[in-house]
Amino acid sequence: MARGSKPLIFSGHCFISLLMLKGCWLLGSASQKPTVLVDSQQLQQEYAHSIRLDGDIILGGLFPVHSRGERGVPCGELKKEKGIHRLEAMLFAIDLINKDPELLPNVTLGARILDTCSRDTYALEQSLTFVQALIERDGSDVRCANGDPPIFAKPDKVVGVIGASASSVSIMVANILRLFKIPQISYASTAPELSDNTRYDFFSRVVPPDSYQAQAMLDIVTAMGWNYVSTLASEGNYGESGVEAFVQISRESGGVCIAQSLKVPREPRPGEFDKIVLRLVETPNARAVIMFANEDDIRRILDAAKRNNLTGHFLWVGSDSWGSKISPVVQQERVAEGAVTILPKRASVDAFDRYFKSRSLSNNRRNVWFAEFWEENFGCKLGMHGKRPGSPKKCTGLEKVGRDSTYEQEGKVQFVMDAVYAMAHALHHMHRELCAGYPGLCPRMANIDGKELLAHIRAVNFNGSAGTPVIFNENGDAPGRYDIFQYQINNRSTAEYKVIGHWTNQLHLNVRTWTTGDSSLPASVCSLPCRTGERKKVVKGVPCCWHCERCEGYHFQASEFTCELCPYEKRPDQNRTGCQSIPIIKLEWHSPWALVPVFISVLGIVATTFVIVTFVRYHDTPIVRASGREMSYVLLTGIFLCYIITFPMIAAPDIVVCSFRRIFLGLGMCFSYAALLTKTNRIHRIFEQGKKAVTAPRFISPASQLVITFSLISVQLLGVLMWFAVDPPHTFVDYGEQRTQDPENARGVLKCDISDLSLICSLGYSILLMVTCTVYAIKTRGVPETFNEAKPIGFTMYTTCIIWLAFIPIFFGTAQSAERMYIQTATLTVSLSLSASVSLGMLYMPKVYIIIFHPEQNVPKRKRSFKAIVTAATMTSKLSQLAAERPNGEVKTELCEGVEAMPPTKTTYVSYTNHAM
């Protein structure tokens, strides 16, 4: 019966042909002739196709004594092991139970055993025998010849059935037996469909269902590291249900994918197995083949693989239909080498071996098929009516099983005996409950209720013939216990099955070698595992197939299938399986980017200190006095601060260093250019005033100059103080400055919180002073050469502007460079140092040179009035058409050229102390 079909419904009229009447006539309509239904000879002939043992309680038995017939014949050749061994196991178990004083005392078990001929439809017809006693017969139309009422032959009442073997047969029979509430216990049917307690509620089995077997096979595949397999099933309930269970469980677990699911037809055409093998090769990565197939199909599949030169390619995983059987692998050892097979855990029953070997034609007449077995087993012929007409050898009847023929106990013998004992234990418990203290069957057990018996069957718990517990779950299934075999060829080139593990709810496997000379486990995977740092990009619809993609950039492998971005302050580690902190760097003192600015700064500091010391030492000399001592010291202080800022800019940032950077970054320039602006403004005002009058302009005294200068400086200091109040100084790590495409080169830069905008604001005021000072320097460019203090200031400002014009593109043009920190810091510090060096070199080095090397020129000259100086400057201005400008100096002193009294190349110094300014 196909899966999903509805149970067959039968009425009592279907079985009238099976009723056995003795000495009666069937009376039909008036026109019909009387017909004899069954005579005694026919009755015996009917029993010749079954085994009947008398007893108080009758058990039914279904066994595949013969194979499936061909071309319309229901039965074929005799099955010695699967048929006769299993049948005799039931008879042997009944004998043991009847002899056991503790189990069903004073109650004898009988049997009615039928041949299914390995065909479900034939088995259905045979199983109708089991329900005859449960059908009410209507004898109103039946009259005996003498007019007496009919006498019906009383059929045996079967209380339970042992069998069947094949799942398809059990499914067909179970649909009938459940209608009449007859419990059934199978010894070999493993189809998962039979676990459906709503459809097969009276079915139980002492073997585990294929769903357990499928789980065990899936665990084997997983343990081998295989995730891409093909399946192969023989058409029918066993093969298709087994593969379906495997596919379902593998889909739920998610670890194994099915490349192909192929089916072997019931009646394969020539070349069918070659096609199947070639189709399996179409997915070469799926080397593992899960097989739920009968042994004939297994043998022909192996033969096809051998013919197509695929020995060693496939990794066979066989179900219990393969198990440890020799027939599928005979003369195909190489192609079957390494096959892993599964078999329900079992043990040989020694008592049965002794029993079966003692059977003979004389002591085993109850087995109606034993004579046929005798001919088949010993290859001889029994009399004129033997089943082997072509055999030249005649049986003597003295042959002995195991001596004159090979003998090996069939694998399901243990389960047949366990099934019979399970029925006996259930009946025993029922007898104790209903017939407490009553010898033999009590009236309450005269008609055994099948539903009540089923409840006792599901409750049994005893040690079976192999010493393993026999129990049933709520679906009537036995627990899963399997031995795992591998077909191996040893060093002597002999092949055998070796136990490599077992499965009891979980797998215990020990695979050390696979094939001869190869100790590594073969692979059956769709895609190789991704390396560390790579994610799987799964192929749509096939979760076991994927492409490996490396986690790029700042991404790391967060899981098997995803890459995630590291936190901003981190980068992927070397394996890209996690994140690690980005190294933090700062400008080091030993870096070339720091050594050059420091070297320039140190030279500048030394030079500035030398100038200051010189000026202090020659404080009262005319040249120092003429330079304007107070303003010179302010200007030199600014120059010194411009040099000294290099060190806070290079030092490792902290709160103190960041504070110094804020304070001194623009302060040095502010000091310098505030002083220069005051001087140039004073010169400009003096000579502009001289054009109008001979009186001196206001605010040109040293005190006034200092007040103006420090007023300008205070603006810078006020801005810095506001900056401190609004945003207190702190450090931070800039991870974006050196965030390169290659995370290995990424660095975090430890910085003060001075942005480019803050830097521009800090230097902007100083640059404004510088530009203003330059404007005044341009305006005073017309001062006569005799007033030579204006010329050095002009050259100083022009050069400084050029320096800072070069600074701006370099500083901001390298904002995207990986070396930004080094370039910008070096550029800023060098620009400050160069600005200071220009001011120092042009304004003070000539004076220091005269003071040190030409002291004869550092002498006072005659004093001239302010009026005379202005008049001379005005005249000179008119002659040269240049604007007049009074140079910076002491209030009563001017550096000028002696126009009348001195030669043109001689510099003289004139004091105006007698003139009020």
pLDDT band at 538 (very low <50, low <70, confident <90, very high): confident
Residue 401 maps to a domain? no
Residue 783 in this model has a pLDDT that exceeds 70: no
- For the segment 649-675, the average pLDDT, to the nearest whole number, is 87
* The predicted structure's pLDDT at residue 889: 39
Residues with Cβ within 8 Å of residue 839, at least 6 apart in sequence: 635, 639, 672, 676, 796, 800
pLDDT tens sequence across 374-391: 998 998 888 766 666 666
Residues 239 and 102 in one domain: no
- Name the least confident of 106-110, 486-490, 858-862: 858-862
**Domain of 308: which CATH number?**
3.40.50.2300
* The predicted structure's pLDDT at residue 136: 61
Strand order in the sheet with 35-36: 35-36, 25-26, 142-143
Mean pLDDT is highest, among 7-11, 107-111, 906-910, for 107-111
Residue 592 in this model has a pLDDT that exceeds 60: yes
pLDDT band at 456 (very low <50, low <70, confident <90, very high): very high
- For the segment 411-418, the average pLDDT, to the nearest whole number, is 94
- For the segment 494-509, the average pLDDT, to the nearest whole number, is 90
Residue with tokens 């020129």: 857
* The predicted structure's pLDDT at residue 780: 72
- For the segment 416-436, the average pLDDT, to the nearest whole number, is 95
Residue 644 in this model has a pLDDT that exceeds 80: yes
Mean pLDDT is highest, among 550-559, 748-757, 822-831, 906-915, for 550-559
- For the segment 508-513, the average pLDDT, to the nearest whole number, is 78
**Domain of 631: which CATH number?**
1.20.1070
Residues 274 and 418 in one domain: no
Residue 34 maps to a domain? no
* The predicted structure's pLDDT at residue 589: 86
Residues with Cβ within 8 Å of residue 154, at least 6 apart in sequence: 133
Q: What is the DSSP string of 535-602?
A: EEEEETTEEEEEEEEE--TTEEE-SSS-EEEPPTTEEE-TTSSSEEEPPEE---TTSHHHHHHHHHHH
Residues 597 and 690 in one domain: yes
- For the segment 237-253, the average pLDDT, to the nearest whole number, is 89
Residue 885 in this model has a pLDDT that exceeds 90: no
Residue 815 in this model has a pLDDT that exceeds 90: no
- For the segment 597-619, the average pLDDT, to the nearest whole number, is 91
Residue 268 in this model has a pLDDT that exceeds 50: yes
Residues 87 and 230 in one domain: no
- Name the least confident of 175-189, 349-363, 475-489, 693-707: 693-707
Cα–Cα distance for residue pair 156/724, rounded to 1 Å? 111
| β-pair type (228-234, 288-292) | parallel
Cα–Cα distance for residue pair 603/644, rounded to 1 Å? 11
Residue 917 maps to a domain? no
Residue 496 maps to a domain? yes
- For the segment 40-54, the average pLDDT, to the nearest whole number, is 60
Instruction: Look at residues 370, 358, 347 and name the one whose alpha carbon lies nearest to residue 83.
Output: 370
Last residue in a domain, options 581, 603, 618: 581
CB atoms within 10 A of CB 599: 12
* The predicted structure's pLDDT at residue 10: 37
Q: What distances in angstroms separate CA 785 from CA 776, 849, 870, one per listed residue?
A: 17, 20, 14
* The predicted structure's pLDDT at residue 384: 66
* The predicted structure's pLDDT at residue 229: 94
* The predicted structure's pLDDT at residue 368: 93
Domain containing residue 544: 534-581
- For the segment 441-468, the average pLDDT, to the nearest whole number, is 91
- Name the least confident of 218-227, 309-318, 596-605, 744-753: 744-753
pLDDT band at 154 (very low <50, low <70, confident <90, very high): low
Last residue in a domain, options 835, 859, 883: 859
pLDDT band at 598 (very low <50, low <70, confident <90, very high): very high
> Which value, to the nearest 10 degrees, does the dihedral of the CA atoms of residues 542, 544, 545, 551 take?
120
- In the three-class reduction of DSSP (H, G, I as helix; E, B as strand; rest coil), residue 161 is classed as strand
Q: Count the helix, strand and coil residues of the chain and give each as a percent rounded to the nearest 5.
A: 45, 15, 40
* The predicted structure's pLDDT at residue 630: 83
Last residue in a domain, options 549, 581, 613: 581
Residues 787 and 812 in one domain: yes
**Residues recorded for the chain:** 917
Q: Which residue pairs, CB below 8 angstroms and at least 24 apart, start in 493-502? A: 495/329, 495/333, 495/336, 495/337, 497/324, 497/341, 500/340, 502/345
CA-CA-CA-CA torsion sign (221, 226, 228, 231): negative
pLDDT band at 672 (very low <50, low <70, confident <90, very high): confident
Instruction: Look at residues 235, 234, 241, 231 and name the one whose alpha carbon lies nearest to residue 189.
Output: 241
Residue 890 in this model has a pLDDT that exceeds 50: no
Cα–Cα distance for residue pair 691/687, rounded to 1 Å? 6
Residue 888 maps to a domain? no
Residues 459 and 484 in one domain: no
% of the chain surpassing 90 pLDDT? 36
Residue 378 maps to a domain? no
CB atoms within 10 A of CB 741: 9
* The predicted structure's pLDDT at residue 144: 72
* The predicted structure's pLDDT at residue 505: 82
* The predicted structure's pLDDT at residue 170: 95
pLDDT band at 793 (very low <50, low <70, confident <90, very high): confident
* The predicted structure's pLDDT at residue 625: 81
Residues 504 and 455 in one domain: no
Looking from the CA of 656 toward its CB, the CA atoms found within 13 Å total: 3
Residues 441 and 556 in one domain: no
Residues 457 and 560 in one domain: no
Higher confidence at residue 40 or residue 187?
187
Q: What is the DSSP string of 36-85?
A: E---HHHHHHHHTTEEEE--SEEEEEEE--EEE-STT-SEEEE-IIIIII
Cα–Cα distance for residue pair 336/864, rounded to 1 Å? 127
Cα–Cα distance for residue pair 152/137, rounded to 1 Å? 9
- For the segment 528-535, the average pLDDT, to the nearest whole number, is 87
pLDDT band at 313 (very low <50, low <70, confident <90, very high): very high
Residues 772 and 644 in one domain: yes
The mean pLDDT value of the chain amounts to 81
Instruction: Look at residues 14, 33, 27, 24 and name the one whose alpha carbon lies nearest to residue 141.
Output: 27
* The predicted structure's pLDDT at residue 243: 93
**Domain of 538: which CATH number?**
2.10.50.30
Q: What distances in angstroms separate CA 345 from CA 84, 135, 193, 503, 910, one per listed residue?
A: 22, 40, 22, 9, 127
Residue 904 in this model has a pLDDT that exceeds 60: no
* The predicted structure's pLDDT at residue 745: 86
* The predicted structure's pLDDT at residue 703: 82
Residue 522 maps to a domain? no
Query: What pTM was computed for the model?
Result: 0.57
Cα–Cα distance for residue pair 674/668, rounded to 1 Å? 10
> Which value, to the nearest 10 degrees, does the dihedral of the CA atoms of residues 272, 274, 279, 283 take?
150
* The predicted structure's pLDDT at residue 879: 47
- For the segment 679-707, the average pLDDT, to the nearest whole number, is 72
- In the three-class reduction of DSSP (H, G, I as helix; E, B as strand; rest coil), residue 403 is classed as coil
- Output the six-digit token pair for 163: 């069998």
Residue 729 in this model has a pLDDT that exceeds 50: yes
* Contact between 118 and 86 (Cβ < 8 Å): no
Residue 11 maps to a domain? no
* The predicted structure's pLDDT at residue 195: 92
Residues 245 and 296 in one domain: yes
Number of domains in the chain: 4
Q: DSSP state, 502?
A: E
* The predicted structure's pLDDT at residue 3: 36
Higher confidence at residue 862 or residue 349?
349
Residue 55: burial class (beta carbons within 10 Å; 0-12, 13-18, 19+) = middle
pLDDT tens sequence across 115-132: 999 888 899 999 888 988
Residue 888 in this model has a pLDDT that exceeds 70: no
pLDDT band at 881 (very low <50, low <70, confident <90, very high): very low
Residue 41 in this model has a pLDDT that exceeds 90: no
* The predicted structure's pLDDT at residue 318: 95
% of the chain surpassing 70 pLDDT? 82
- Output the six-digit token pair for 861: 């000259």
Residues with Cβ within 8 Å of residue 748, at least 6 apart in sequence: 569, 582, 583, 584, 585, 733, 734, 735, 738
* The predicted structure's pLDDT at residue 247: 93
* The predicted structure's pLDDT at residue 699: 65
Cα–Cα distance for residue pair 453/471, rounded to 1 Å? 15
pLDDT band at 874 (very low <50, low <70, confident <90, very high): low
- For the segment 448-460, the average pLDDT, to the nearest whole number, is 95
Residue 870 in this model has a pLDDT that exceeds 60: no
> Which value, to the nearest 10 degrees, does the dihedral of the CA atoms of residues 212, 217, 219, 221 take?
-160
Cα–Cα distance for residue pair 883/780, rounded to 1 Å? 6
Residues 574 and 645 in one domain: no
